[in-house]
Structure 1
């Protein structure tokens, strides 16, 4: 999310996010952006129409057990990550707060086995708590301001079943100073909240984008033991 993009689109995203934050509804701008795009994927900065390469690399490198296992994709956007997980063998649920995004997914993949749903990360359906063997959080936390960061992290952690895995792919900052966003990269102290919520860090990979050498990304794999 918020990868290399035209200046005018960056400014639009920042304006929409700021307006939503000022209205104390920090997630509201996603639906506005999808609606105003009117089907033009170039107006959605994170819509690459392909699986996230950091997720794809993780699947190919570590070959997680998928048969008979459930997976949840948080903030699924236009559905490419969800479809990749389904192709890998997972029983996939994918949600987004934007009804337009979910309708777009269903239009793109009319015969998909993925269950696409409209939901809010900050108000997770109770039946999803501790329900998924694999939870993929890719670039959503960084799109939410620090004022709701702890609440969002708690919601993400609550989705992981006992024995399940959480995969986090986000921008990373080495300082605890509040960044200017969006996006708002995650810090070490924020990531430490996952362990405080009962998840054990299994693997941490710093990721470098050759097109954006000054931007740090991180991929973390967590497991819930009990």
Structure 2
């Protein structure tokens, strides 16, 4: 992905500077802050929910009542609002205070609880606390070995009997410098933390670009 008029994407520019400074996550706040000032673009800030999430819900994967959901790296809130609209009692968190503030401002009457938190050090009381955990295209924005730590922290957030849904770009061997850094099959498998079993792992073609592949993986907590 390139920026306007072939310019380097803002994500690439800011991530490179942040990584060079030894801060693998600081660029998220910089990106949202610059976007708020009109100096950058957030490529995933679109009005509709993730297509793979919407298809998953449409195909009947969502069942039960009084469900709780956690959206990892919620950004401006598109997926969190979608899940809330399906009846989930939804929490959305992001490491960027500006992203959380943007979501609250954009949806002032929303039932979603938007909060600042870090996947690398999630609140202990969240452990085993959510019937649905959505990890959508966030871990792929982290380099290794930080990404390995982030992956290990996702599964334990799922409540017994709950579901983990992972959406991510799939590594193809011809990937460009990140972010994103597309995930390998081994990395997808690693989401199956102790107590989680695989319900299904799909590698799908992106309709907008046949050269891009995407993972949709579903896990269930025992």
**Distance change in 2, residues 1:31/1:146 (3 Å):** same
Is 1:54 matched up with 2:48?
no
Structure 1 pair 25–188 and aligned structure 2 pair: CA distance change class (3 A): same
Unaligned 5+ segments in structure 1 are: none
Which residue is equivalent to 1:152? 150
What's the RMSD between the two structures over aligned residues?
Answer: 2.1
Name the residue aligned to 2:135: 137
Task: Determine helix, strand or coil for the equivalent of 2:110.
Answer: coil
Q: Which residue in 2 is equivalent to 1:118? A: 116
TM-score by length of 2: 0.92
Q: Distance in 2 between matches of 1:71 and 1:217?
A: 22
Q: 1:54 to 1:109 in 2, by over 3 A?
A: same
Show the counterpart of 1:180: 177
**How far did 1:19 drift?**
1.7
Q: Which stretch has the larger CA shift, 180-189 or 137-146?
A: 180-189
Once the 2 structures are TM-superposed, how far is the Cα of residue 203 of structure 1 from its aligned partner?
A: 1.5
How many Å separate the matches in 2 of 1:221 and 1:5?
33
Shift of 1:186: 0.6
Please point out which of 158, 161, 164 is paired with 1:163.
161
Indicate the residue corresponding to 1:104 in structure 2. 102
Q: Matched residues in 2 for 1:211 and 1:197: separation?
A: 36
Displacement after TM superposition at 1:41 (Å): 10
Aligned to 1:44: 42
Match of 1:20 in 2: 18
Question: In structure 1, what is the Cα distance between the partners aligned to 2:78 and 2:156?
Answer: 24
Distance 1:178 1:124 in 2: 30
Structure 2: runs of 5 or more not aligned: none
1:209 is aligned to 2:199: no
Relative distance call for 1:42 and 1:154 in structure 2 (3 A) is same
The 3-state SS of whatever aligns with 2:134 is strand
SS in 1 for 2:215: strand
TM-score (norm 1): 0.90
Query: How many residues get paired?
Result: 221
SS at match of 1:35: helix
